[in-house]
Structure 1
């Protein structure tokens, strides 16, 4: 027997404008006025920026002003570079690159919504018919479940920062969500067109972040087809697989024909892919258990309950297909020797969709517990953000202000009226949402997650309005790059040898227009060294630069007590 018994009143869908507003409130803060930060964000932007300013070789061989970056794949950076070329002259290169991030997020959000909607309309998912009627229509029920899946997706803590960065991860997770949608269409209607779309998606996924995940998904779907419907093996073999291979081959083939063999990144890219899969280890298992709990909150409790509640209908597509994706990704995390949050990102779309089917069966007490946890935790977080901002502006409370300035020495607070008004309006909206949830006690299914998603959006919006200048000061290399460039010639007729990392190289090139040496060039007038403040023997770090050098400048980001940069000039 189906575990769901609902009246039609429980399936009132969120208005379209409400969903759109939530998505925009989620993604737009953090794209505007934010510098590329000291993370993969700056490195990804550096690749896009280099492509946009470079020649065909830069597009085919991803690099950061001469530093090869053959890992992952070029697709996300191609798209970002196109937007820099189109709009960089109007809105600045950094913001233009983030238009691609906005599009990636919308693709992922729409894919999650439509995937849950298709599964929610299926006959085996529908609630039991009530004795006197009044059960929801299939479309209304599907739309309500889709709303719930999208809210859970937005509330996922692991998605928050990654979805705002100019990296391949932002596109990768969206393509995974779209691949799940395409797989649902294939298993639902056995259409060759859906098989072809799935193949193209897997191919684009390969160009985004390698072939390990697409290969695992294709193998998992083939196994599922054997179990559910063997006839699906034909479109998978004759449409999905060829389309995947054809799209995946675009970049390697272009490298073969347009780049010299010694400049082609294909071999290093294939080697990087190979190193993403190995044998299971205790370290990878421990990493998954330690981080997946917070990374996928609040999706995993609802998803776990959905699997339990629908255990007697475990062969139903709305359970078995997301679980197939989920099992594939968990296996890849366990077999990946390199721990990282980017390995956990693929878990979020199938978890969000699976979690949506746990909403109709959860007890009221469990739903209230999740809601109160969200209210208490996220309200406290928002209150701390406000108190911290007041402390930075006024000096009270003194201890909080002292701690804030201690983490960012030399920071000078700035007042932005527009940011304050936006933050105040978002806070008032949060209070009204909590009051509506507490006083009305609505019966709609998505009530269990609307506070979680609303609270996450509030906290992120407050950080990206009230605290953005402080965060830019601490996480951006703009200040230190502008200090160093004063010691360099005003012309571009020089080059700088360097050992700095990808994020630092991209930031110094973008903010300071530093002319870094390309390839193995070793006759530059200047050298930029990156080391630790704890390193007492700076001369040892100079051994990698041939010749004798004179120290011109030394500096670091005020918020980083360990990292140090030194600029040297060659002594003739």
Structure 2
């Protein structure tokens, strides 16, 4: 029977020896799978790849752009960093999107480092690694931590924001320089809405506890000196290079989930946020709630609780008030929730820790077993009906044995089984096993199923087929009325730039999505293998010959 024991009566395990390389190895196993070896997927990767391709071909540095339109959902910092890495690696034969996606891994690793440093600064030695484990185990981070898209910059910025504010208690000036870099990253890599949230967090923390002193003003002033002049360079250059694009960004995208100054979105996503955060931040959210409850007597006096609690409360309030929240916007919550979870993990009741541990081991163990079983069914053809169903789900996939992915899946499975045998305090064991379970599922999924998934998600064949068809037509422009994903794919894979608006009136060819109208002169039509909802066709307009 599981019962609660006070800390004084609990079994005391010997102090663990410092083995930071084990945590480093787990982070590597979590980060690396899925970064290379597949084409850009929806959502967001296709547009990001197209923007990076444009930067590599000479697009002006301050304006993210693809097709015939600016892409200003986020600042250009992620695209710059991805282009800087993709340029030399593409010269060595690596695909641009694979090389660029490695930058996501770098930003994710920086976020883990920032959370670890913040945890150590707030709670002491060996505590930072627990916070990193909670962050790694968060379900919502799995996709965005491996995605070719700018939102990962947000996670990194708020992770280092927590460390900068915690560090300000000891070194106000150095922390101010670091805080300025965080604000600069948000200006150039995210949006003014998230920058405003980060500034609000810094100001709110300065009104309470040990931050409420004159030295903290040095931190804020140093941050302003670093962030504002440098960050303004991008905005000023964008306004001078393309005033229309700058005005469009300011009106519709500048404030992130609040849209822009010309269309302020409020109070439209509270229900969506509350339903999404329950799984997106699992298990960080319930562990953070326990961290607050178990330390409630110290909540108003201890800096280690005041900082993450303030950040979490303001972050959640900021999301609830917004009117156009996307899933990636919830990344602002994960660093503070991971830190709050670290505050209560050693006080976790035995029954709760055992339940979390059992649930994680069973869930991820069964999940990995199903992935292995499905892969064997697909490749061995037994039973035949199940194998046929899996083949029909991704008809473009050609059965083959990818030994690199198979080796990765075997290695991840063996390592996970060995981790289960290690002994540590029950709360830490539950968190560690959960993080390792998430890593196992992701590693096995990518190792075994990435080629199958890529065959069903890639737009490469459709774009190249259209390119081949256009090469056989009379030279001329092409107008377009297709999805953003297809528009980006045509730009990235086939260098096809569709015209729209008044510039499209002179084009003899039009690419559309759906069903060709009766009597139209269809020059080409196509779709992704197995895709029934997106059908594209190219028609020739006789009156424009």
Q: Specify which of 360, 374, 377 is matched with residue 374 of structure 1.
A: 360
Partner of 1:301: 286
* Residue 65 to residue 279, structure 1, CA distance change in 2 (3 Å): closer
Deviations along 1:131-151, whole A, 9 cap, x unmatched? xxxxxxxxxxx22x1111111
Partner of 2:85: 83
Partner of 1:352: 338
Partner of 1:33: 37
8 A Cα contact 1:225 1:231, kept in partner? no
8 A Cα contact 2:239 2:246, kept in partner? no
Alignment: residue pair count: 527
Partner of 1:131: none
Give the drift of 1:520. 5.0
SS in 2 for 1:71: coil
Deviations along 1:273-331, whole A, 9 cap, x unmatched? 347336763x5222122111111111112111110111111031111101111112111
Q: Specify which of 208, 223, 234 is matched with residue 217 of structure 2.
A: 234
SS in 2 for 1:265: helix
Greater RCO, 1 or 2 (C-alpha within 8 Å, sep 6+)? 1
Q: Specify which of 154, 158, 164 is matched with residue 136 of structure 2.
A: 154
Give the drift of 1:519. 7.8
1:245 paired with 2:228, answer yes
Give the drift of 1:159. 0.2
1:199 paired with 2:180, answer yes
SS in 1 for 2:243: coil
Partner of 2:388: 402
Q: CA separation in 2, counterparts of 1:197 and 1:339?
A: 28
Gaps of 5+ in 2: 1-5, 259-263
SS in 1 for 2:181: helix
Partner of 1:319: 305
- For residues 121-520 of structure 1, the aligned pairs below 5 Å read 121=124, 142-143=125-126, 145-186=127-168, 188-228=169-209, 229-232=212-215, 234-257=217-240, 259-262=241-244, 264-269=245-250, 271-274=252-255, 276-277=257-258, 281=267, 284-315=269-300, 316-434=302-420, 436-437=421-422, 441-443=423-425, 446-489=428-471, 494-517=476-499
* Residue 520 to residue 249, structure 1, CA distance change in 2 (3 Å): farther
8 A Cα contact 2:117 2:128, kept in partner? yes
Give the drift of 1:55. 3.4
Q: CA separation in 2, counterparts of 1:567 and 1:14?
A: 63
Q: CA separation in 2, counterparts of 1:395 and 1:48?
A: 41
* Residue 360 to residue 220, structure 1, CA distance change in 2 (3 Å): same
Deviations along 1:140-175, whole A, 9 cap, x unmatched? xx22x1111111111111000111111111111111
8 A Cα contact 1:49 1:84, kept in partner? no
Give the drift of 1:486. 2.3
Between 1:478-487 and 1:354-363, the stretch displaced more is: 478-487
8 A Cα contact 2:49 2:492, kept in partner? no
SS in 2 for 1:521: helix
Partner of 1:103: 106
8 A Cα contact 1:190 1:232, kept in partner? no
Q: CA separation in 2, counterparts of 1:369 and 1:420?
A: 32
8 A Cα contact 2:257 2:326, kept in partner? no
SS in 1 for 2:511: strand
Give the drift of 1:266. 4.9
Give the drift of 1:398. 3.7
Q: CA separation in 2, counterparts of 1:194 and 1:481?
A: 49
* Residue 276 to residue 416, structure 1, CA distance change in 2 (3 Å): closer
8 A Cα contact 1:66 1:519, kept in partner? no
SS in 1 for 2:512: strand
SS in 2 for 1:60: coil
SS in 2 for 1:180: helix
Q: CA separation in 2, counterparts of 1:427 and 1:69?
A: 41
Give the drift of 1:70. 2.0
Q: CA separation in 1, counterparts of 2:508 and 2:310?
A: 57
Give the drift of 1:107. 0.7
Give the drift of 1:10. 5.5
Q: CA separation in 1, counterparts of 2:357 and 2:21?
A: 23
Over the aligned positions, Cα root-mean-square deviation in angstroms equals 2.5
With normalisation by structure 2, the TM-score equals 0.90
Gaps of 5+ in 1: 122-141, 541-547
8 A Cα contact 1:495 1:525, kept in partner? yes
Partner of 1:127: none
1:12 paired with 2:16, answer yes
* Residue 397 to residue 333, structure 1, CA distance change in 2 (3 Å): farther
